[in-house]
Chain A
Amino acid sequence: MTDYAVRITRLSYSYPDGTKALEGIDLDVAQGERIAIVGPSGAGKSTLLLHLNGVLEAKTGTVRIMGLNLESANLRQIRRHVGLLFQDPNDQLFCPTVFEDIAFGPLNLSVPRDEIPRRVEKALADAGLDYTMRSRTSHHLSLGERRRVSLAAVLAMEPAILGMDEPTSNLDPRNRRHLIDVIRGLNATLIVAAHDLELVLDVCSRTVLMDHGRIWADGETRSMLGDAQLMEAHGLEVPLSLRRV
């Protein structure tokens, strides 16, 4: 029963101040699938991503990752499977150098120390970066570079499932295109929360629409994003490339 990479049933979550962030979420993601989560700001997209590896714990409902129930006994195993890319690279790159940031995950996973440099090199290459980047300090990198180093830091853990929160926000067109190409080349199961609907069209075959902590639609990307009525009802708009001239 491990055909599903992610299986979420009746998941609800409220923040400590009582704000309901997720209400009765049901979502199955097959292994190797690439799905997008779209919806207005405050829809609960990021909160849902944080449930994938137990950063937030389900108040009610269950989350199963690669056949493992999300509970404290399985957390270590689950964090091996799930990598999360955060929206602000400054939150993700907390070590003084790029090398240390990328090595942080593998070291925590007890990867043998002599294998670390190879892992870092491979992760940098997978994220489209040069190995010479390793000795740079994170605060001297451009936003595009920081975003890709963050991705490398996640890829170094060789996750089977990769959750990304707004991976292309604030990037200039060239860096955005480069990052999209990198994402398209990845083998992991992808769950991308995004406002950038062109990215969604480019990368994901299936889309889930969230609003007010619920899932309102779940289906094939092109037909959903092309549905003007549905999109407008949830504060979104049909991407330019799908509009009839």
Chain B
Amino acid sequence: MKHNFIDRYAALDSPLHILEPRSKLLAFSALIVAVLCIPMDRGILFFVYFFVTAILMGISQVPLAYIVGRTLVILPFIVLASLAAPWKGLPGLWILFIRAIICLVLLILLTNTTRFTELLRGLRKMGCPQILVMNLSFLYRYLFVLTEEAMRMKQARDCRRVGRAPFAEELKTLSSMLGTLLIRSFERAERMHSAMLSRGFAGEFQVHSPRRFTWRDLAFLSGVACFVAVTFVVL
């Protein structure tokens, strides 16, 4: 089974891909915060930010169809969230919707122009706690192993089941499957810890980072900062 649903296009080498992860983290966070802060009565700014996002999309070389596909997956949640604030009226809903879409596309761009590992390294260098980064890294690594384990269990269940059981029975099977998955994960964690100890782990994850902060990163960061400042002060 092959999966790479988080950072499928992160291995390309567009001008966005070769930037240091910290500069991308900062720049994209700034853009997202800016989009969230656009006042409702300045609709023009949404177009400006949408335009800039589209430019970034073009530079990143991540296929448009992929970005649209990913957005569609999360669309129902956005619609639900928009509906959860009915007091804002129709224009308010539209704006909430557009805000969410722009932020989502920016996030998809960030995760698909930076390998997840480098993103984590960036977070670590920016002072994010070691334990959090380590957990995220294990989550990324073992998500696939757990998915496969769950799928194998599902296949095993399907092989021994004839037709559909009553709902309560199904629920019972499902809960025991989840329990088994939890125990298996726990046992795997124990074995991983042994493997880590065997290779000299003493509590601190050492990382070897190939990318450096260069003039490109500085240029990109200052560009984004100027853009955000200009849009809020001038427009």
For this complex, 12 residue pairs linking A to B, each with C-beta atoms less than 8 Å apart, are A79-B200, A82-B198, A83-B198, A83-B199, A84-B195, A86-B191, A94-B196, A103-B208, A104-B199, A137-B4, A153-B199, A154-B199
A92 to B141, CA, bound (A): 11
List, in ascending order, chain B residues with CB within 8 A of A86's CB: 191, 194-195
Smallest Cβ-Cβ distance to B143: which chain A residue: A139
B207 contacts A by Cβ under 8 Å: yes
- CB <8 Å contact, A139 and B191: no
A89 to B200, CA, bound (A): 17
List, in ascending order, chain A residues with CB within 8 A of B142's CB: 94
Question: Could you list which residues of chain B lie within 8 angstroms of chain A, going by C-beta atoms?
Answer: 2-4, 11, 115-117, 120, 137-138, 140-142, 144-145, 188, 191-192, 194-202, 206-208
- CB <8 Å contact, A79 and B195: no
In this complex, how many residues of chain A approach chain B with their Cβ under 8 Å: the count is 38
A187 to B208, CA, bound (A): 28
A104 to B142, CA, bound (A): 17
The verdict on A105 contacting B199 (CB below 8 Å), with A94-B138, A137-B4 known, is yes
15 extra interchain contacts, Cβ-Cβ under 8 A, other than A113-B208, A157-B200? Answer: A76-B200, A79-B199, A83-B198, A91-B195, A92-B192, A94-B192, A96-B117, A96-B141, A100-B208, A104-B199, A108-B201, A108-B202, A139-B144, A139-B145, A140-B2
Q: Mark A93-108, 1 if CB is under 8 A from B, else 0.
A: 1111101100111011
Question: Could you list which residues of chain A lie within 8 angstroms of chain B, going by C-beta atoms?
Answer: 50, 53-55, 76, 79-80, 82-84, 86, 88, 90-97, 99-100, 103-105, 107-109, 113, 116, 135, 137-140, 153-154, 157
- CB <8 Å contact, B200 and A90: no
Smallest Cβ-Cβ distance to A117: which chain B residue: B208
List, in ascending order, chain B residues with CB within 8 A of A53's CB: 197-198
A196 to B61, CA, bound (A): 49
Smallest Cβ-Cβ distance to B117: which chain A residue: A96
- CB <8 Å contact, B206 and A107: yes
A94 to B185, CA, bound (A): 13
